[in-house]
Structures are given as C-alpha cells and as structure tokens.
Amino acid sequence: MAKVDWQQKTITAAGAELSYLKGGKGKPLLVLHEELGNPGWLAWQRKLAEDRKLIVPLHPGFGVSPRIDWMRTIGDLANYYAQVMVEQDWVGADVIGFSLGGWIAAEMAAQNPGQFASLTLVAPFGIKPPRGMIRDIYEVPTEDYVAASVKDIAATPEFAGLFGGAMTPEQFERFQDATAESARLAWQPYMSNPALGNRLGLVRKLPTLIVWGEDDAIAPVSAAALFHAAIRGSKLALIKDCGHRPEIEQTGKFLKKLKAHLS
C-alpha cells in the first residue's frame, strides 16, 4: 500500500477558526469524527486516500479547533458545517460520519440533503435506540468507554494506537475538551434528537449506507432499523463479530461496503 500523506490545515470559515486534516487525491469525502475527537489517521483512511480526497474537520471545541460560543445543539453544529461547505466549495462531496459524527451527518442531511452526493452513517448517534441505551460517556473513565467500543481488543490491532495510544496529560486534556463539548451539545436528550427520525423524511434521493456492528456496546444496533426506515432507499449493512468501530474491527468488510457505495 502506497503511503499517502495527510496534513493539518487551519482556515477561517463561517466566522470561526477551523482546523481539518486533508489527505489523498480525488473526489472529496467529508469525514465527521466521533465524540472523543479524531481517533487518528487509520488504515481505512490510508487505503481510501489512494483515490479519494479525505477532509476531516476537527469539530469546534473538541480540543483543536476553538469552541464556537453560539452552538448549543448538534443541529447548530450541522448548520455551521453546512455554511463551511458552501464557503469552501465542498458542496456535492460524499460524507461519512462515525458515532456522534454520524449524528452530525444525519442532521446535515435532514437540513439539506442536496449538499451531499452520498451519505454513510457508521453506528450513528441521533436516534434513541428502541432497545438498550447509548452508553454514557460521562459517568465512566474515558479509557473504559474506549475499551467498550470494540468487541475484541486483542483481535483489533489498530485499537492500541487510537488517540495516540496513551493517556498523556495532553491527551487527557483533549478528551476533556471533546467530552465537554459533546456534553454541551448533547447532554439531554442524551446523544439524540427526538425529532431526527421525522426530520430525515426530507432525505428522499440521497444514496445512503448505514453500517453497524452487530455487537455494538456503545450505540445499540436496535437503532439501525429506525435509521433505515427513516431514510428512504437507504442500504443497511450489519457486520458480524463487530462492535462500535467497524472501520478498525472489520476493516476489509467495511472498506468493501464503503467502496461499493461510493463508486
């Protein structure tokens, strides 16, 4: 596999400073990261960046891009990113969102499905699962939450390198920033928007793929059917022997589904 470099850029967009990671060449794919911040530049990204341009905005307030004071909901953050897409000429990009990032992508699609060429949601938050609850990030040490995010740590080589792999004081601070901003935007209702399922009724022609690990211990897989029903024409890919991180737990299967969807 050819080594594909990535770089971090900082821009002023929609009235605020925003940093993002950029790597690869080709049609742009917007990658929206999870609630703990960006976990790293992973194998699936290196592979995809061989023929796609990946744009990974570092959410405002999650430890790198400064917090934006007017935001109080995930819908606000979705609106901010929609403004950034217009300003940066990213409209028409594909989008993929993971966990909380999946929720942001779903909110953006519900606000304006036309801004994307396609939508991919990986174990997204945003719709309250009918069975089980989204795991609470605020009542446990962050390490415990990260450990619960994969089904089998020993069978997941990339797990050890997530978020740089060590709880250094700098990483502790970044986690505190990220979870604080998650709390600010999604404390209650916890990690969901009761209206999102209905609001997704606006999404009618957007090619959509929903990917979910069958053994997800963070976002219960029971919510997958609700997303699937809410987004017309969406495809649902349930992955066996997989927790909340299909992209590192079942990278091969994940990439196969994603590439087929994006092609």
Partner 1 sequence: MHITTFTERPYADVPEDEVIKNASFFGVSNRFLDPVKGGALFNRYLDEKLYAEELGFDGVMLNEHHANPFTMGAVMDVEAAILARITKRVKIALMGNPLPVADPLRLAEELATIDMISGGRLITGWVRGAGCEQIANNINPTYNRERFDEAHDFIIKAWTQDGPWRYEGKHYEYRHVNPWLKPIQKPFPQTWIPSLVSPETAVFAAKNRYTYIALATFLPPTMEMWNLYADTAAAEGYQAGPECFGYLQKIVCADTDAEAHELGKNYVFGGGQPAFARPEWMFPAGYNSKAATKRLAYALTDPETNEAVVSGKHAGSGIDVAATRKYNNEVLYENLLRNRQIIVGTPESVLPKIRHILETLRPGVFSIWHIEGGPTTHQQSMNSMKLLAENVLPKMREWARELDLPGPDEVQPGSRKLPPSGQRDPVCDAGVRAA
- Comparing CB distances to partner 1, the nearer of 6 and 190 is 190
The count of C-alpha atoms lying within 13 angstroms of the C-alpha of 255, restricted to the half-sphere facing its C-beta, is 15
Does the footprint of partner 1 cover residue 73 (CB under 8 A)? no
- Comparing CB distances to partner 1, the nearer of 17 and 241 is 17
Cα distance between residue 253 and residue 263, in whole Å: 16
Distance of CA 226 to the CA centre of its chain: 18
Tokens of 215: 């053994």
Does the footprint of partner 1 cover residue 36 (CB under 8 A)? no
Stretch that binds partner 1, among 104-112, 122-130, 160-168, 213-221 (CB under 8 A): 160-168
Using omega within 30 degrees of 0 as the cis cutoff, is the peptide bond preceding 57 cis? no
Cα distance between residue 20 and residue 84, in whole Å: 12
User: What is the per-residue binding string for partner 1 in 111-140, x denoting contact by CB under 8 A?
Assistant: --------------------------xxxx
Cα distance between residue 243 and residue 128, in whole Å: 18
Is the sign of the CA dihedral 227, 232, 234, 238 positive or negative? Answer: positive
Closest by CA position to 105, among listed 160, 211, 171, 30: 30
Does the footprint of partner 1 cover residue 142 (CB under 8 A)? yes
- Comparing CB distances to partner 1, the nearer of 38 and 179 is 179
Which residue has tokens 């794919």?
29
Does the footprint of partner 1 cover residue 238 (CB under 8 A)? no
- Comparing CB distances to partner 1, the nearer of 174 and 257 is 174
Q: What is the DSSP letter of 134?
A: P
> Roughly how many angstroms between the first and final C-alpha of the chain, as a whole number?
20
**Coil vs helix vs strand at 153:** coil
- Comparing CB distances to partner 1, the nearer of 180 and 238 is 180
Q: How far is the CB of 76 from partner 1 (least distance, A)?
A: 14
Stretch that binds partner 1, among 77-85, 105-113, 182-190, 239-247 (CB under 8 A): 182-190
User: 30 near 18, Cβ under 8 Å?
Assistant: no
Does the footprint of partner 1 cover residue 182 (CB under 8 A)? yes
Q: Classify residue 121 as left (phi > 0), alpha (psi -120 to 50) or beta.
A: beta
Does the footprint of partner 1 cover residue 141 (CB under 8 A)? yes
Does the footprint of partner 1 cover residue 187 (CB under 8 A)? yes
Q: Pick from 167, 217, 236, 238: which binds partner 1 (CB under 8 A)? A: 167
Q: Pick from 43, 183, 217, 238: which binds partner 1 (CB under 8 A)? A: 183
Single-letter residue type at 129: P
- Comparing CB distances to partner 1, the nearer of 130 and 141 is 141
- Comparing CB distances to partner 1, the nearer of 168 and 198 is 168
Residues in touch with partner 1 (CB under 8 A): 137-144, 166-173, 175-177, 179-184, 187-188
